[in-house]
Structure 1
């Protein structure tokens, strides 16, 4: 059996940069000619990725698979936790929904099964790949959870992986967080840490050097590198905390103002990422109705709890503001997945798939009704989008529990081999779709943005960024940065050293 060499990336806290470092290592190992796979035993995220066989995994692992130049599989993220409310989550096992759990019940009842699922998934990867980049979650020093954790040091021991600890200096207090994390680890776990990476550094490195020397002397752990802050790194973020960095109000300097409603249970927010690379677009996530204004585009994104987020819009004044924009034809309104369902007449959840609230009336803009079903649809999809007198080939992915039926005269938005997806208003100022990733289609995005420019009396722009090229360049940029600032050769040696006592 092939003996894979693993390396594990853990962090002092969430959003320390674990996913980015893991993504860069995936690209480096692939560049060096190794069959490489990412692995995250348990991920909590509402940002999903659909594999070619219709399985659902965390989006970060799908992106890391792309960086590793391999095909994503459910083995790369065998357990995905998708929060539905403050205390309940849907548990996805091996790419398919397994059960909804309260947090305490999940911790008590699922542990043994989860551990077995993780072992089997990792065994399959280890028999196929030469290098495996493992990502932890949160912090390994969460001492209240460590007796039944399934994603940090227990996985390092299970896979016999050396561990790199990542700290975020941009937040401040990086030495305290690194030292504190190390001291809270059990001695045998601390020994498994081969060094640390200080992430998101800005400024003069010479001012940090005395601190680096002190850290190495105090802890006995090597600083493997100081990675600079990369503000224009075009790699999808996994954690919705990134949305806090976006502005909420419109700007006069950009020609197209795109307002994304920040729903409480927002999912797959990366659907709007392509607009971030368009020079004539300004993207903002709005949390309060008075921030909405009169944008050129309003996007209702996906959500893990459609009815509760719809009620949120109605209670906070968002629904009234969006209706006013629609009636006055001020904005183009787009609904994706859950946002699409909200644009219809009614949403019913009699099976309590997402909520116990039952039914809710939607905006009524589109002649559709949605019923939440127990079976989730997860698939890669293709079709032809009908928009602005153009018919454009598109591809995307679907993740939804709802089944939508059409009433009366409907204009399809996308025609597919199975029939059609979504629908569009007669004037083209409102449409909805189940296709996540619709704006990642360069040709469609060009048509869409030019239709907005035409409404504003602006000339068309036909040279738009290629999203595939943007992503490839970002993977290579990240790999180059890590090669320059991190001791990759030391990491290779430690992976080999640990392999001498490998369990596989």
Structure 2
């Protein structure tokens, strides 16, 4: 363990030669609240003028953000960086896995897709062998962070008690053992069985791993805390570990999750609310960056629904769920565009889109959805699966070729729509390079002006718009212009930036009120004596 070199009012203040301390948060399950707790702790420590940074050794997510240096990290770590009031850094999430099939994923190391073969994809068995190399990338990032920051708050992944994943683990206890850090375990009481979760998780750990668990946090509690106290006393006596706090269920909290779209959204089996702008987002198996639609979901004048279709890829008779009547259909991003386009056709959604347009509805494609609206998608190197080409939906005279070098950019410019223009900013993450096939050289309408570069497309009749830019609806003025394009005038809504900041503050205040922060700080200090 590292030695403490001085005593000051700030328990984590370091001498120049010292290294920062590390605290890890692991969970009994996925969606136990790890992301939220790390974000809350980062903001709380930052407000105490402690130089704190977030860290997640390995993240599996289809939602990512672009760093200033042009790398990718999970959006959860982007949120945590905001909580710590830091610019994004690829070291906050050195290994990012972006699944493109049930058994394979694109491997991103220090912000860049790995180029170990023709593609950057690995099957699960292949990645298992690669973990030793991945661990070195993880440790090098952690080493850089503890040289720059007084405290690094680490988020684990899933559960540390997954027996089949223990060998070569780099995401949970394998990392904690490698850097010798203390671990908090958080469990979600709202799901039920919280005592079994905590005791069972602890019992499935090795003795050395159990020894580094310094306490428990119970999340999403509703009701009278007095009714829980006897259980907490039993838990502490049974495990000889302290319960460091019980966080309440924070109603209306919407912290960006990894990929928990289904648990955060309701299906479109019901009817839309009358009087609202009706928007349907198509959900395909490899949908990416669902955070693009958070601003739509939050708006009081918009009924944004996610359409799920049952059935596995390749079904010969999949269940068909028709797209309900709406003002706008959105084709979101995708990590496997050709496969998701096939899924869309199998569900009959291409026919629903055509019918929607015949009745005067409008369509937006974002990133992978943009590519689907063209004439051809070509993947000559098999970057997203089997090499080959797929016929697009044909609404734009455009061809897309997937390239090994990804485009990773934060951009700003003008949104040009319905005869108006407003400022807009966002980010691009795509392997595709799209080229307009315009034989008669007739100028095409474009959606965006990014520093003089015309981007995106709009059909001549103004019904279909598409581009590569993620975050289209995040700025209030841009959202209002899109709704004006749909023929609706809506009230001004707060930006996603404001909503995220409010959510971070709520979590931070809950941590300060309901966690024993004095004991947590003392535990960290004592660990490194």
Q: Is contact 2:381–2:387 with CA below 8 Å preserved after alignment? A: no
Q: Distance in 1 between matches of 2:152 and 2:469?
A: 31
2:280 to 247, 259, 269: 259
The answer for the alignment partner of 2:112 in structure 1 is: 96
The answer for the alignment partner of 2:514 in structure 1 is: 485
The answer for the alignment partner of 2:456 in structure 1 is: 422
Q: Is contact 2:105–2:123 with CA below 8 Å preserved after alignment? A: yes
Q: Distance in 2 between matches of 1:13 and 1:87?
A: 21
Q: Distance in 1 between matches of 2:97 and 2:452?
A: 30
Q: Distance in 2 between matches of 1:389 and 1:136?
A: 48
Counting only pairs closer than 5 Å after superposition, residues 221-370 of structure 1 correspond to structure 2 as: 221-243=241-263, 245-249=265-269, 250-253=271-274, 255-288=276-309, 289-329=320-360, 331-356=361-386, 358-370=388-400
The answer for the alignment partner of 1:172 in structure 2 is: 192
Q: Distance in 2 between matches of 1:245 and 1:300?
A: 17
TM-score (norm 2): 0.90
Q: Is contact 1:333–1:431 with CA below 8 Å preserved after alignment? A: yes
| Structure 1, gaps ≥5 residues long | 455-459
**Cα shift at 1:104:** 0.5
**Cα shift at 1:241:** 4.5
The answer for the alignment partner of 1:457 in structure 2 is: none
Structure 1 or 2: more helix by fraction: 1
Which 4+ runs in 1 deviate beyond 4 A? 241-244
Identify the range of structure 1 (241-250 vs 209-218) with the bigger mean alpha-carbon deviation: 241-250
Q: Distance in 2 between matches of 1:351 and 1:335?
A: 24
Q: Distance in 1 between matches of 2:419 and 2:90?
A: 39
Aligned residues: 493
3-state SS, counterpart of residue 427 of structure 1: coil
Q: CA RMSD in A?
A: 1.5
Deviation string 1:83-126 (CA, Å, 9 cap, x unpaired) is: 11011111000100003111011101x12211111111111111
The answer for the alignment partner of 1:163 in structure 2 is: 183
**Cα shift at 1:235:** 2.1
Identify the range of structure 1 (279-288 vs 230-239) with the bigger mean alpha-carbon deviation: 230-239
Q: Is contact 1:4–1:127 with CA below 8 Å preserved after alignment? A: yes
Q: Is contact 2:279–2:304 with CA below 8 Å preserved after alignment? A: yes
Matched, 1:400 2:430: yes
Deviation string 1:309-364 (CA, Å, 9 cap, x unpaired) is: 000011111111111112221x2211110011111111111111112151111111
Distance 1:367 1:202, change over 3 A: same
Deviation string 1:208-234 (CA, Å, 9 cap, x unpaired) is: 122111111111111111111123113
The answer for the alignment partner of 2:80 in structure 1 is: 64
3-state SS, counterpart of residue 219 of structure 2: strand
Q: Distance in 2 between matches of 1:482 and 1:453?
A: 44
2:493 to 459, 464, 478: 464
| Structure 2, gaps ≥5 residues long | 1-16, 115-119, 310-319
Deviation string 1:466-486 (CA, Å, 9 cap, x unpaired) is: 322222111111100111111
3-state SS, counterpart of residue 477 of structure 1: helix
Q: Is contact 2:132–2:168 with CA below 8 Å preserved after alignment? A: no
2:475 to 416, 420, 441: 441
1:210 to 230, 236, 249: 230
**Cα shift at 1:421:** 1.8
